[in-house]
């Protein structure tokens, strides 16, 4: 089976060391002291916070939400808050130069005007409580676990300093706290349990793919920013994977730091295939069966189900 995971990238190992905070594995550019300081981050009632476990449609939902706020006009999307994750250092292409200090993005967010769209991979136990205190809008997007782990393997599979493992070893960490930002099932289920809260919207990646018009309407109504049917249709067209990739290339050429919206560290593309079912190119039948049993055990009676093709 073909495993297209991109070119090998050689980067500074000292800036790719993982760390553990309260049992949860974090990338090096998310320091424990920042997680603690974020607990007092000042959210605003009109903030929109997009939450995902890694490789679950983070930037797709962010672009869709930004376009809704801009009534479907790319050039009017407010991008300052979309440069980075809430909890990240400002990771740009120079971040691996150890003479350049990290810049904490949340400190920049604090100075940005409303309304702010921001995104994060923080598990619920690390999410600042202020978001619930002010009833800011939270959008969580989940993706079927087989495509999630496959997408992550494609994303970092050839980064030698990350000491990536074989695919079976890689997906074996998926349900453990060795997985970035914590075990996938705990991350997803903790947010799934909030699905009936007034300030919370739970989305699925597969629904965004299969019924994009419905999802655009859901998001627009949830954030109290309704759009006409014509604008909805424009947004659906522009948020197809091909159109988003085209827009990201335009941004890279038009803005000095345009790559921040399309590539982690200016090197790893956030937008890959954008399909359902790519896991079939990675899992053997036996691995798929083993993974299915684990998913069933983990999701149990939660009622959370996914489409896999």
**Candidates 121, 158, 187, 225; catalytic one:** 121
Q: Which residues contact 255 (CB under 8 A, 6 or more apart)?
A: none
Residue 6 has pLDDT above 50, yes or no: no
Q: Is 187 a catalytic residue?
A: no
- Report the alpha-carbon distance of residue 89 to residue 105 in Å, rounded: 6
- Single out the residue of 72, 66, 70, 83 nearest to residue 117, CA to CA: 66
Q: What is the pTM of this model?
A: 0.88
Domains with residue ranges and CATH for the chain:
13-299 (3.40.50.300)
Band of pLDDT at residue 85, cut at 50, 70 and 90: confident
| CA atoms in the 13 A half-sphere facing the CB of 210 | 12
**Mean of pLDDT over the chain:** 86
Residues 166/102, Cβ–Cβ less than 8 Å: no
What is the per-residue pLDDT across 234-291, written as a single tens digit (0 to 9) for each?
999 999 988 888 887 887 777 767 666 665 665 666 667 788 999 999 999 999 999 9
Q: Which of 150-159, 190-199, 269-278 has the lowest mean pLDDT?
A: 150-159
């Amino acid at each position: 089976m073909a495993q297209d995971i991109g070119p090998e990238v050689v980067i500074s190992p000292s800036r790719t060391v993982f760390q553990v905070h309260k049992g949860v594995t974090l990338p090096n550019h998310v320091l424990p002291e920042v997680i603690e300081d974020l607990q007092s981050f000042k959210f605003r009632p009109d903030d929109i916070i997009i939450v995902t476990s890694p490789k679950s449609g983070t930037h797709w939902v962010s672009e869709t939400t930004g376009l809704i706020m801009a009534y479907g006009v790319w050039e009017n999307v407010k991008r300052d808050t979309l440069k980075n994750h809430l909890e990240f250092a400002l990771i740009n292409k120079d971040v691996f130069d150890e003479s350049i200090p990290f810049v904490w993005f949340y400190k920049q967010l604090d100075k940005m005007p409303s309304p702010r769209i921001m995104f994060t991979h923080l598990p619920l136990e690390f999410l600042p409580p202020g978001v619930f205190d002010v009833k800011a809008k939270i959008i969580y997007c989940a993706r079927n676990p087989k495509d999630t782990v496959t997408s992550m393997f494609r994303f970092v599979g050839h980064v030698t300093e990350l000491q990536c493992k074989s695919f079976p070893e890689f997906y074996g960490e998926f349900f453990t706290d060795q997985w970035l930002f914590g075990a996938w099932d705990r991350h997803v289920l903790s947010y799934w349990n909030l699905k009936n809260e007034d300030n919370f919207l739970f989305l699925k990646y597969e629904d965004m793919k299969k019924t994009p018009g419905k999802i655009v309407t859901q998001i627009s109504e949830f954030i109290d920013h309704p759009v006409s049917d014509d604008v909805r249709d424009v947004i659906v067209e522009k948020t197809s994977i091909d159109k988003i990739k085209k827009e990201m290339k335009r941004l890279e050429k038009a803005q000095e730091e345009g790559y921040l919206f399309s590539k982690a560290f200016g090197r790893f593309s956030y937008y890959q295939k954008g399909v359902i079912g790519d896991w079939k190119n990675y899992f053997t039948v036996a691995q798929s069966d083993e993974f299915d049993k684990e998913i069933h055990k983990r999701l149990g009676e939660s009622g959370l189900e996914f489409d896999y093709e």
